[in-house]
Structure 1
Amino acid sequence: MFSHRSTVDSARPPVPAANPRRWYILSVLVVSLLVVVLDNTVLNVALKTIADPRAGLGATQSELEWSINSYTLVFAGLLFTFGVIGDRFGRKRVLIAGMVMFGIASLLSAYAQDPAQLIWARAAMGLGGAAIMPQTLSIITNVFEPNERAKAIGIWTGAVGLGVAIGPMTGGLLLDSFWWGSVFLINVPVVVLGVIGMFLLVPESRNPLPGRLDPLGVLLSIVGLVTLSYGIIEGGEKASWLEPAVLGPIAAGLLALALFVWHEARIDHPAFDVRLFRDPRMSAAVGAVGLVFFAASGVFFFTTFYMQSVRGLTPLQAGAMVLPFAAAQLVFSPLSAAMVRRFGAKAVCTAGMLLVVVALVCYQFIDRTTPLWVLGVIFLIQGSGMANVMPPVTESIMSALPREKAGAGSAINNTARQVAVALGVAILGSVVSSVYRNEMSAPLGRLPEDARHTAGESIGGTMAVAERMGAAGQDLIAPAQAAFVHAMHTAAVGSAVVAFIGALVVLRWMPGRATGDPGTEPARSRKREAAGV
C-alpha cells in the first residue's frame, strides 16, 4: 500500500507555488481574450453594413451567417488540438503564435474584396483564436492557487462583458467615420500590446506528460460541424427542410459527428475526451455553457438587424444599446464567486439560466414601436443571467481536472461555447430566414424574379431593393419590418425553450454548495489519490 502511494506521488508533477506576478499576468491574458471577444462583437454591429452592396460587400443572409460560422467552426474544431499542442510545446509559445496569426488574419479580413474572401479570412482568424483561448485558462490555472482561482476566472469571464461593451461602441464609431474593414483593423493594436505583455510577463508552462495529437478526430469534428451547419443554413435560405440539398448535408454532418464521438471514446489520445463526461458535474457544466450560448448567439444575430433595419438606428446607436448587457457582465461576473460560496453553484447557475429565460421571453413584447429602453432592460436581464452562469460553470470544469490537464479543461469549456455559437447562429438564423421569407412571399410576389429573390434573402435585401425602386418601393418597408419582428419572436421562443432546458440540466446535475473551503481542489485531489488516479 505504501509503495503504491509513493509511486503515485512520484508520478504526479509537483504543484507550483502561486506566481508573485499572477495579477499582472491575468491582465495580459484578459487582453488576449479581449481581442477574440472584441472581434465578434464588432462584427455583429457591422453585419448590416457588410450586407450593403454599395457601402459593404453585398453579402447575402447565408454569407453573413458563414462569415460568423467560418470563424466559430474552425475555432471549435481546433480548440482541443491547440490545448494539447500548448500542453506539449509550451502554452506561452502557442499563445503568442495564435495572437500573431489572429492579427494577420484580421488584416486579410479588413481588405477582403468579396464575401468569399471575408469568409476564408474569418476562418483564418478562427485558427488564431483556437490557439489563443485554451492557453489563457491553462495559464490562469497554473499561476493561481485554488483559493484564488475562482476570483481570477470571474475576472477573466468579466472580460467578455468588457469586450461586449467596447466592441459595438468601437464598431459604431469606426463605421461612422471609415469603411467597413476598419472594424477588423482595430484588432491589430490590441494584438501588438498583448504580444509585448506576453513576452515580458507570462511564464512558460507545459504538461510534463502531454497527450499525442489526434488528426483524425480533428478532421471528423470539423467535417461534421461544417457539413451540419451548411445543411441548416441551406434550409433557412431555401425555406424548405425536406429537399435533398438540405437533408443530405445534415445527415452527413450528424454521421460524421457520431463517428467522431465513437472514435474519441476508443483511443488513448483523443482530440476531445468524451470520457470526461462520465462525471455528471462536468456534463452539467458543459451543457449549461452550450445551451446558454446557443440561446444567446442567435438572439444577438437578429437583434442587430432589428435595431438597424427595423428601428433605423445607426451602428453607433446600436452599439450603445448593448451597453446594459455589457455592464451587467462587468458588474456581476467578478461577484459570482462570492455568490457560489454563499448559495452553491447549483442555485446560482439555475437562477442565472432562469434570468436568461425571462429575458428571451420578453422579446415577445418587442415590436416596431416599443420604447428602446425596454430593449435595454431586456439586455440588462440577459447579461445579469449569463454573468451568473459562466464563472461558476467554468470553475466547475477547470476544478474537475488535475492542474496538468488544464489545457483539456479550457478546450472543453471553449469548444462547448463555440459549437453552441455556431449552431445557434445557423439554426436560429435559419428560423428567422425561413419565417421572414414565408411572411414576405405575398408582398414580394409582384416584383421581377431576380429582385424577388434578392429581397427575400433578408430584411437587408428587402430594404436595398426598396431603396432602388424609389417611391414605388416604400410599400415594401412596413411589411418587411412586420415580417422580421414576427420572425424574431419565433426565434426568441426557440431560444427561451433551449435556455429553460439548460436550467433543468443545471438543477438536476450541477453540484450544490461546497461543504468545505471554497477552494475544493485539494479535497478532490485527495479523492483522486485515494483512488490511485
Structure 2
Amino acid sequence: MTTDSRPDAGQPGGRGGERRRWFGLVAISVAVALIIVDSTIVNVAIPNIVGELSLTSSQVQWVQESYTLVFAATLLIWGSVADRIGRRRMLLIGVVVFVLASGLAAVAGSGGALIGARVVQGFGGAMILPTTLSLINAGFTGRDRGIAFAVWGSTIGGMVAVGPLLGGWLTTSFSWRWAFGINLPLGILIVAGVLLFVDESRSRAKERIDLVGAALSAVTFATLAFGLIEGRTYGWWSLRRPFEVGDAAWTWSISPVVVAFAVTFVAGAVFVARTLRRTRRGLPTLFRFDLFSITSFRNGNIAAMIVSLGEFGIVLSLPLWLQNVLGYSAFQTGLVLLALAIGSFAASGLSASVLSRTMTPAAVVRIGIVAEIVGVAGLGLVIGPSTSWLAVTPFLFVYGFGVGLATAQLTGVVLVDVPLQRSGEGSGLQSTARQIGSALGIAVLGTVLFTTAGARLESGLTDAGVPATAQTQVVDAVVESSGGAIAGLAADPATAPAATVARQAFSDATQAAAFTAAGFLVLGLLASLSLGGSSAAPAGRGREDEKAGVRTT
C-alpha cells in the first residue's frame, strides 16, 4: 500500500503500463455494458416470460420495476462505500452479485423467484455503475480522461440499442432464460479483466458508514422513483387501477403514488437535516453538501438530469411503435435501433481523435445535445403508420452520435473539479441525478405517449361513427397493451378499420413524445450554457485536485 500525490499515481509507467490502463478501461466498459444491456434486454423477453411462468399483470410490472427501484435507491450508497473499502473491490463485489442474481433469474420457476432475483440484480447494478466512473476518474488524467469518459458514455448509448437486438435474438433462437444466462460468461471475463488490469484506489478509509443516512437515502430515492414511474399507471391522486404486491392489495381510494411522494418528502427532509447537523459536528455522513458548492458539479448535474429526461423519449416509445404499428419483430426492432449504437460508437472515436484536442469538454457536450435534438425532432417529423425503416435510421444515427458525445463528456464535466478522494461520492451523486432524470422522463414522456394515443384514437373512432361503448373498449385495449392490441384488431375483419385508426393514433402519440423529448433536450442545452470554470478548460489540461493524491495498491 502506497500513497503518491503525482497525477498518474497508481498508473505504472512505460508502454506496458499505458496498455494495462486501456485494457482496464475495456473491462470497466464491459461492466457498464452488462448492466445497461440487462435493463433493456428484459423488455424484449417479457412476452415469453409471461407465457412460460404465467405471470400476473402485477408481476410483469414488478419484474421490470423491482430492478429499477433498487438500482435508483442505492446508487448513492455504494458510491460512498466504494471510497472507503476500495473502488475496484466494490466493482468486483457488484459484478459477482449481479452475475449470481442473473443465474437465479435464468433458472427461476415462478414469478416470485424471478422478481426476487431482479431485486438482487438491482443491488449489484448499483454497485457497478458509480464505481466504474470513480475508477476512470482515478485512473486517467488530462486528455486521456476525456477519451476514457467518451468510451464509457458511448458504451452506455450503444448498449441501450444493442440490448433489444441481443434480447430478441436470444429469446427467439434459444430461450428468454438466456437473456439472463448471457451475463455469466460476461461476468467471468469482467472479473478477470478487472483483477489483471485495474488498480485499487480508495480514500476516506477510516470513516465509518452512516447507516441511518444510507437507509434514509434509500427510502427517499426508492419512493421517488416509484412515484415518477408508476404515477401514470396507478394515478397521480386517485387510484386508477388495483395495486398489488404479491398477495397484498392496496385498499385505499387514494393512489399509492401520493403516499410514495409523501414518504419521499419526509425521508428526504430528515436526511438533509441530519446530514447538515452531522457535518457541522464532524461526524461521518453518506455525502457532504459542500460538493454542490463546486460550480461545474452543481451545474453539470442539473444539465445531466434534464438531458437524461429528454433522452428517454426514444428508448420508451420507439420500440413500441416499431413493433405494434409497423409490425416488426423484436429482432427486427433491434436491428433498426442498431443505428443508434453505431452513431454512439462513432462519436466515441471522433471525440477521442479530434474533438478532445480542439474543443473544451463543455463545447463537446453542447454539440452532442444539439445532435440529439436534431435526431429526436427528425424522428418526430418522419414517424407515421407507413414509415419505412430507411427514413428512421439516419435520425437514429444522428441521435446516437449526440448521445455518444454528450453523455460521456458531460460525465467528465460533472466530475472534473471533484477532489479525487471523493470521486466515489461524486460519481454516486451524478449517477443518482441521471437516474432521477430518467425516471422523470419515463413518467412525463409515458404520460404524453399514452394520453395522446388515447385522445387521438377516441377522436378517430368518433369520426368513423363507432359507438361510444365500443370506443371505450378499443381505446382501453390499445392503451393498456401499449399498442399490442392493434395486431389483434387488424386480424379481425370486423375491427380492422379500428386498427387503422389505432395505428395513426399511436404514430401521432409517438411523434408527440419525440417532440416533447426534443423540448427537454433544448432545456438541457440551455442548462449546459452555465457550465464553466475548470470544465471549460482545454481537455488536456490537468486538475488542481490531482495534487490531493489517492491511496493506491
- Does 2:540 correspond to 1:518? yes
The 3 A distance-change label for structure 1 pair 478 and 216 is farther
- Which residue number in structure 2 is paired with residue 131 of structure 1? 127
Matching of residues 145-164 of structure 1 within 5 Å: 145-164=141-160
| Aligned residue runs from structure 1 range 383-422, under 5 A | 383-422=400-439
Q: Is the 8 A contact 2:305 2:437 kept in 1?
A: yes
- 1:14 is displaced (CA, Å) by 6.5
Q: Secondary structure at the match of 2:278?
A: coil
Counterpart position of 2:209: 213
1:42–1:183 CA contact under 8 A, matched in 2: yes
Whole-Å Cα distance in 1 between the matches of residues 125 and 484 of structure 2?
31
| Aligned residue in 2 for 1:301 | 316
The one of 254, 257, 260 equivalent to 1:249 is 260
Tell me the distance in 2 between the aligned counterparts of 1:294 and 1:341: 29
**Does 2:310 align with 1:314?**
no
**What are the superposed Cα offsets for residues 404-426 of structure 1, whole Å, 9 maximum, x if unpaired?**
22212322232222222223223
1:493 aligned onto 2:515: yes
Amino acid aligned to 1:480:
A
Identity value in percent: 30
CA distance in 2, matches of 1:359, 1:491: 13
Residues 263 and 302 (structure 1 numbering): CA distance in 2 closer, same or farther, change over 3 Å? farther
Where do 5+ consecutive residues of structure 1 fail to align? Answer: 1-9
Task: Give the superposition deviation at 1:507.
Answer: 0.9
Structure 2 partner of 1:459: 482
AA at the equivalent of 2:421: E
Instruction: Report the residue type matching 2:26 in the other structure.
Output: S
Q: 2:449 aligns with which of 405, 428, 432?
A: 432
SS in 2 for 1:333: helix
Corresponding residue to 1:173 among 169, 173, 191? 169
TM-score for the superposition, normalised by structure 2: 0.82
Cα distance in 1, alignment partners of residues 485 and 237 from structure 2: 23
Q: Which residue of 1 aligns with 2:355?
A: 339
In 1, Cα distance between equivalents of 2:406 and 2:528: 10
For residue 507 of structure 1, what is the aligned residue in structure 2?
A: 529
Residue 304 of structure 2 corresponds to residue 281 of structure 1: no
Partner SS, residue 11 of structure 2: coil
Paired residues of 1:437 and 1:458 also in contact (CA < 8 A): no
Q: Give the C-alpha shift of residue 307 in structure 1.
A: 0.8
Separation in 1, partners of 2:61, 2:44: 14
Aligned residue type for 2:36 = V
Q: Is the 8 A contact 1:73 1:419 kept in 2?
A: no
Letter in 1 for 2:378: C
Cα distance in structure 1, aligned partners of 2:536 and 2:209 = 36
Q: Which residue of 1 aligns with 2:365?
A: 349
Q: Distance in 1 between matches of 2:514 and 2:530?
A: 24
Equivalents in 2 of 1:342, 1:231: separation in Å? Answer: 43
Query: CA offset at residue 67 of structure 1?
Result: 4.2
One-letter amino acid of the structure 1 residue matched with residue 416 of structure 2: S
Task: Tell me which residue corresponds to 2:28.
Answer: 29
**Paired residue for 1:91?**
87
Q: 1:236 to 1:208 in 2, by over 3 A?
A: closer
Query: Aligned to 1:360, which of 372, 376, 400?
Result: 376
Give the CA deviation at 1:168.
Answer: 2.8
Deviation at 1:517, TM superposition (A): 7.4
TM-score scaled by structure 1?
Answer: 0.85
| Partner in structure 2 of residue 5 of structure 1 | none
TM-fit CA distance, 1:35: 0.9
Quick one: which amino acid aligns to residue 481 of structure 2? S
What SS class does the counterpart of residue 459 from structure 1 fall into?
coil
Hey, what's the Cα distance between the residues in 2 that align with 1:181 and 1:460? 25
Aligned to 2:181: 185
**Shift of residue 513 of structure 1?**
7.6
Q: Secondary structure at the match of 2:485?
A: helix
Cα gap change, 1:95 to 1:516, in 2 (>3 Å) = closer
Once the two structures are superposed, what CA deviation does each residue of 1:447-503 show, in whole Å capped at 9, x if it has no partner?
Answer: 599997555413345247648x84444344223322322322232233222211111
- State how far apart, in whole Å, the 1-side matches of 2:344 and 2:538 are: 28
Gaps of 5+ in 2: 240-253
For 2:496, the equivalent position in structure 1 comes to 474
Say if 1:346 and 1:512, in contact at 8 Å, map to a contact too: no
Shift of 1:191: 0.9
Number of matched residues? 514
Q: Distance in 2 between matches of 1:153 and 1:231?
A: 31
Structure 2 counterpart SS, 1:322: helix
**Pair 181,482 (structure 1): closer, same or farther in 2 beyond 3 Å:** farther
In the TM superposition, residue 321 of structure 1 has moved relative to its aligned partner by 0.8
432-441 vs 29-38, which moves further: 432-441
Residues 297-343 of structure 1 show CA distances to partners (whole Å, capped at 9, x for unaligned) of 24211111111111111111111111221111111124325424423
SS in 2 for 1:508: coil
Aligned partners of 1:172, 1:478: CA distance in 2, in Å? 26
- Report if aligned partners of 1:308, 1:318 keep a CA contact under 8 Å in 2: yes
CA distance in 2, matches of 1:262, 1:483: 48
Is 1:18 the counterpart of 2:11? The answer is yes
Match of 1:108 in 2: 104
Structure 2 vs 1, CA of residues 500 and 242 (structure 1 numbering), >3 Å: closer, same or farther?
A: farther
Residues 266, 510 of structure 1: CA spacing in aligned structure 2 closer, same or farther, 3 A cutoff? Answer: farther
1:56–1:403 Cα change, 3 Å: same
**Counterpart residue number, 1:3:** none
| Farther off after superposition, 222-231 or 131-140 | 222-231
Distance (Å, rounded) in 2 between the aligned partners of 1:431 and 1:514: 36
**Which whole-Å CA distance do the structure 2 matches of 1:327 and 1:445 have between them?**
46
2:340 maps to which of 325, 329, 333: 325
- The answer on whether the counterparts of 2:371 and 2:398 sit within 8 Å (CA) in structure 1 is yes
Worse-superposed segment, 307-316 or 71-80:
71-80
Q: Deviations over 1:376-405 (max 9, x none)?
A: 122112112122212222222332122222
* Deviations 1:270-307 (CA, angstroms, capped at 9, x unpaired): 33443312222112222222222221124211111111
Q: Output the CA distance in 2 between the equivalents of 1:59 and 1:490.
A: 31
Q: Which amino acid aligns with 1:163?
A: M
Give the stretch that moved more between structures: 362-371 or 208-217. 208-217
Contact 2:5–2:546 (Cα < 8 Å) also in 1: no
For 1:39, give the aligned amino acid.
Answer: D
